[in-house]
Chains A and B, each alone.
Chain A
Amino acid sequence: MAAATGIGAPVRRKEDQRFITGKGQYTDDINRPGQTWAVFVRSPHAHAAIKSIDTAAALKSPGCLAVLTGADIAKDKVGNLICGWMIHSKDGSPMKAGAHPALAQGKVRYVGDHVAVVIAETLAEARDAAEQVRVAYDALPAAVDLATAQAAGQPQIHAEAPNNTVYQWHLGDKDKVDAAFVAAKHVTRIELTNNRLIPNAIEPRAAIGDYDSGQDSFTLWTTSQNPHVARLVLAAFIGIAPEHKLRVIAPDVGGGFGSKIFIYAEETVCLWASRKVGRPVKWVADRTESFLADAHGRDHVTTAELAVDAGGKITALRAKTKANLGGYLSTFASSVPTYLYAPLLSGQYDIGAIYCEVDGVYTNTAPVDAYRGAGRPEATFVVERLVEVAARQLGKDPAEFRRQNFIRSFPHVTPVIMTYDAGDYEACLNKALEMADYKTIGARKAESARQGMKRGIGFSAYIEACGIAPSAAVGSLGAGVGLWESAEVRVNPTGSVEVLTGSHSHGQGHETTFAQLTSQRLGIPIEQVTVVHGDTDKVQFGMGTYGSRSGAVGMSAIYYAIDKVIVKAKKVAGFVLEVPEPTVDFKDGIFSSSATNKTLTFPEVALQAYIAHKFTGAQLEPGLKEGAFFDPTNFTFPSGVHICEVEIDPETGTTRIDRWTAVDDFGSLINPMIVEGQVHGGIVQGVGQALLEGAVYNKEGQLVTASYMDYCMPRAGDVPSFNVAMTNTPCPSNPLGIKGCGEAGAIAAPAAVINAITDALGHENIAMPATPQAVWRAVAKSPTKMAAE
């Protein structure tokens, strides 16, 4: 049994039965008795003062029950949305954050900002009534462009943040870095834009707020990656209700990628409005709303430099980044371009000195927060573009230049606060070079050239810091919460098991992988294990799923809860077998003892724990249920090498990815099938960033990419199949040796694609997304083309 379903087996997913038969239960599939519908009136302006809101006509519209505005929410003293990570500027001052009300107070700061909400009997009636809300605006000039938003004379978005500057943060030893650059034999300098992305989980965000006047309590069904954090914020900061009077349920959730971590205006308003109207209030985003008002990702402009000595050794790295934070600070926005970014600027390389400055900037655009990878894709793009360009400038093979500079001994303390605990970067590189058939790339390039095509190969040797823990470490860096995870293992009298976890699955397959772990350790069939998550009334507390943390942190909590179950079960077995407890052994689901020939199965011991006939209450507490909180001692450091090989048609600018090799070190694996699936999905989000996707605001602050006709999502025909393999240096900071795999592809891919395209072009002058038009224009600037002309 355990061999087929245990740790390391590619077990088919338990959750699939309901998804492939249409029996999933997503938030929009849930309807409450007496339910009403919410539609938001959103700002059509990027920046404007609200002069007046006339609700009279809307209130007369058929089915309309209420129109609620910022004045109403202020009168009821509903708290503002929060940013939960305090960043201090290099001068020591705290970040300068303006208020973020759930419904605008006198001013709107991006197109899509929440001005009012209409509650009506049906969705259609709510939409009709929303069109009758008359809002008079005084349009203001908008600060939309990240590069210029801090300049004198730009429109001021929040009075609290002069020059639209939230913070001017830094990390590293500036003097040491400056000295290294003075001494350098070679300096590579690049300017990069990390394009703005829109996460686009295919399930739009949704919420149902349901106030129960009999209990004076609320229930929220919502599309959340972390329902307990949502409850904590809604209770402690926004003040909807105390935690014990607020139940948050995140049922099946259709993808998140970060965008469903955050506590948004809509769920706040649905809860508050359900009490106002005395009925449940449901809101489901349409896709345009998702584009306008889901937190976006990335959006950096960076100048970066690499110092190299005469022997080809990298000696220092220096970066200056402006990060767009949008019109308000979203829940974790401040941390993404700071502590999730600059600490990864050492990459896989032994670099003596690193210094990074980051300006966090308000603009009149949607809030920007964590999106798959969150800071680490931006760091990887900086490091891997720098290293690639430096190798080319120095005339070195890019693989060998990387190899020369790899970190080789662990633990390794970087100049940017991280202690890498385990890795073998050369092993990944060697395996990837072999799988990609790197030796013969020259022949393939020549063959492409014979056909009038341009072939290029690009590397990305990435590292990430995952788990987003230990709590004490993130606390010292400004996090407002601890980032451990909890688990409870409840054994039923018949020996079946419920595993309650604070992690949340929205595609990651926890119902399968967490059951694999439990099944193997307790020696029971995987069918006897059910994983429970996503409901604050069932699971006591949890920190949710993001930062590739559910395996390394969430499953480790389960591991230790199982340890406690086994300790207790051995005591029960000792009484039943009538042997001293220290002689009891537990292996493969069987309790045995050197003191007897008798054995007991796990279900037999479970039953004995509950009937409690063989021991007294003075000797042992009945029952078999244990919990654990796990807080690791370090971040985890997944790493790997991705190699992208492209062929460009110079006549059309079309880039075709001919082959993709990924060799990742995720530490130990629970289910390689699921891990590979995570890699595939991550790569395609990264390829989307590199080739297709880009959120575009015009200079007035209108989002011109607000539909799938205008924002180019990767489709099946845009990408290849992938050649994926793993290495394993087990992670030492958790009992399972897991590093995490959810974000790797999205972190690695953009640099690999752009390094391949620039290799094909013969110059570095291309920005993301490298659309056919952009590539076609870049081909015209390539040395061979110019030479031919």
Chain B
Amino acid sequence: MFSIFGKRAASVPAAAPGAGVQQGGSGSPHVSMTVNGKAVTADIDPRTLLVHFLRDHLRLTGTHVGCDTSQCGACVVHVDGLAVKSCTVLAASCDGSKVTTIEGLAKDGTLHPMQEAFRQNHGLQCGFCTPGMIMAAVDLVNRTGGKLDEHAIREGLEGNLCRCTGYHNIVAAVREGAANMGSVRQAAE
């Protein structure tokens, strides 16, 4: 899966580009995926990036584009349980995948512990990097089992830029969110 970290080499997504994609009648690929628990299908321009599929086709505008070159992390979503920068993933390559965006993180009207921790710790100001930051933080906790000191959190958020908070309260939020994710044994994905 794509890593959220700029320094790591990006490996091929679980669903290889084009695998299982049906060509629509117009020559546009037909993609099917599950987004936030709902099955979605669409005929798309082959060059459509996952972030644009989410924002423009599904109107899930919580996933943001901050740099369009996979450096800022505002576009992080989960594909099959792992964080990806959706500005560098083709929508067609996610055919058959399960995608979770910031809109799908709260369950039955209850905020995910990481969302709640960002609010409680003032881990956001303008809110633009926040969806990607929260999705990356949830992935970080899932990958590490939640054993995170300040250094590990700071290094783990390397792929996400925030210009407002100075990271101080984001670090506090991730620490608290990680603890609460563990305590409620919430399966994030």
Q: What residues make up the interface of A, taking CB atoms closer than 8 Å to B?
A: 12-13, 15-26, 28-29, 124, 200-204, 252-255, 257, 284, 286-287, 506-509, 673-674, 676-677, 680-685, 707-709, 713-717, 719, 721-722, 745
- What separation, in Å, do the CA atoms of A253 and B125 have in the docked complex? 10
Asked whether B19 is an interface residue with its Cβ less than 8 Å from the other chain, the reply is: no
Residues of chain B contacted by A204 (CB below 8 angstroms): 65-66
- What separation, in Å, do the CA atoms of A421 and B164 have in the docked complex? 30
Interchain CB contact under 8 A, A26 and B125: no
Nearest CB in chain A: distance from B61 CB, A: 4
Interchain CB contact under 8 A, B168 and A680: yes
Within 8 A of A (CB), among B117-143: 118-120, 122, 124-131, 134
Interchain CB contact under 8 A, A708 and B72: yes
Interchain CB contact under 8 A, A721 and B168: yes
Asked whether B176 is an interface residue with its Cβ less than 8 Å from the other chain, the reply is: no
Interchain CB contact under 8 A, A12 and B119: yes
Pick 11 A–B contacts, CB within 8 A, sort by A. Answer: A21-B103, A677-B122, A680-B167, A685-B163, A707-B67, A716-B153, A716-B154, A716-B160, A716-B167, A719-B168, A721-B150
Nearest CB in chain B: distance from A34 CB, A: 15
Residues of chain A contacted by B60 (CB below 8 angstroms): 22
Interchain CB contact under 8 A, A680 and B165: yes
User: Of all chain B residues, which has the CB nearest A674?
Assistant: B122
Counting chain B CB atoms within 10 Å of each CB, the highest count among A16, A23, A255, A713 belongs to A16
From A17, A203, A709, contact of B64 by CB (8 A): A203
Contact string against A for B residues 60-79, beta-carbon threshold 8 Å, 1 for contact and 0 otherwise? 11111111110110100000
Interchain CB contact under 8 A, A202 and B120: no
- What separation, in Å, do the CA atoms of A673 and B169 have in the docked complex? 10
The 9 A-B pairs with the shortest beta carbon distances in the complex, nearest first, are: A22-B62, A254-B128, A19-B127, A507-B126, A684-B166, A507-B125, A680-B166, A22-B102, A708-B71
From B61, B72, B126, B130, contact of A253 by CB (8 A): B126
- What separation, in Å, do the CA atoms of A66 and B163 have in the docked complex? 36
- What separation, in Å, do the CA atoms of A273 and B14 have in the docked complex? 44
Interchain CB contact under 8 A, B171 and A202: no
Nearest CB in chain B: distance from A717 CB, A: 4
Contact string against A for B residues 96-110, beta-carbon threshold 8 Å, 1 for contact and 0 otherwise? 000001110110000
- What separation, in Å, do the CA atoms of A86 and B161 have in the docked complex? 37
Interchain CB contact under 8 A, A507 and B161: no
From B69, B118, B162, contact of A287 by CB (8 A): B69
Given known contacts A16-B118, A19-B127, A26 and B64 CB-to-CB distance under 8 angstroms: yes
Not counting A681-B166, A709-B69, a sample of 6 additional A-B residue pairs whose C-beta atoms are within 8 angstroms of each other reads A12-B119, A21-B115, A124-B47, A254-B64, A287-B71, A677-B125
Nearest CB in chain A: distance from B109 CB, A: 10
Asked whether B111 is an interface residue with its Cβ less than 8 Å from the other chain, the reply is: yes
Interchain CB contact under 8 A, B158 and A682: no
Nearest CB in chain A: distance from B121 CB, A: 9
User: Of all chain B residues, which has the CB nearest A290?
Assistant: B67
Q: What is the interface of chain A mostly: helix, strand, loop, or mixed?
A: loop
Residues of chain B contacted by A13 (CB below 8 angstroms): 119, 122
Interchain CB contact under 8 A, A717 and B166: no
Interchain CB contact under 8 A, A21 and B126: no
Nearest CB in chain A: distance from B76 CB, A: 12
User: Of all chain B residues, which has the CB nearest A15?
Assistant: B127
Residues of chain B contacted by A252 (CB below 8 angstroms): 126-127
- What separation, in Å, do the CA atoms of A23 and B115 have in the docked complex? 13
Given known contacts A13-B119, A708-B67, A22 and B61 CB-to-CB distance under 8 angstroms: yes
Counting chain B CB atoms within 10 Å of each CB, the highest count among A28, A685, A713, A716 belongs to A716
Asked whether B170 is an interface residue with its Cβ less than 8 Å from the other chain, the reply is: yes
Residues of chain A contacted by B45 (CB below 8 angstroms): 124
Asked whether B92 is an interface residue with its Cβ less than 8 Å from the other chain, the reply is: no
Interchain CB contact under 8 A, B154 and A717: yes
Interchain CB contact under 8 A, B150 and A713: no
Interchain CB contact under 8 A, B126 and A201: yes
Asked whether B157 is an interface residue with its Cβ less than 8 Å from the other chain, the reply is: yes
- What separation, in Å, do the CA atoms of A253 and B158 have in the docked complex? 24
Interchain CB contact under 8 A, B127 and A507: yes
Given known contacts A286-B68, A684-B167, A20 and B154 CB-to-CB distance under 8 angstroms: no
Residues of chain B contacted by A16 (CB below 8 angstroms): 118-119, 124, 127
Given known contacts A16-B119, A22-B131, A287 and B67 CB-to-CB distance under 8 angstroms: yes
Residues of chain A contacted by B74 (CB below 8 angstroms): 202
Interchain CB contact under 8 A, B163 and A201: yes
Residues of chain B contacted by A22 (CB below 8 angstroms): 60-63, 101-103, 131
Residues of chain A contacted by B69 (CB below 8 angstroms): 287, 707-709
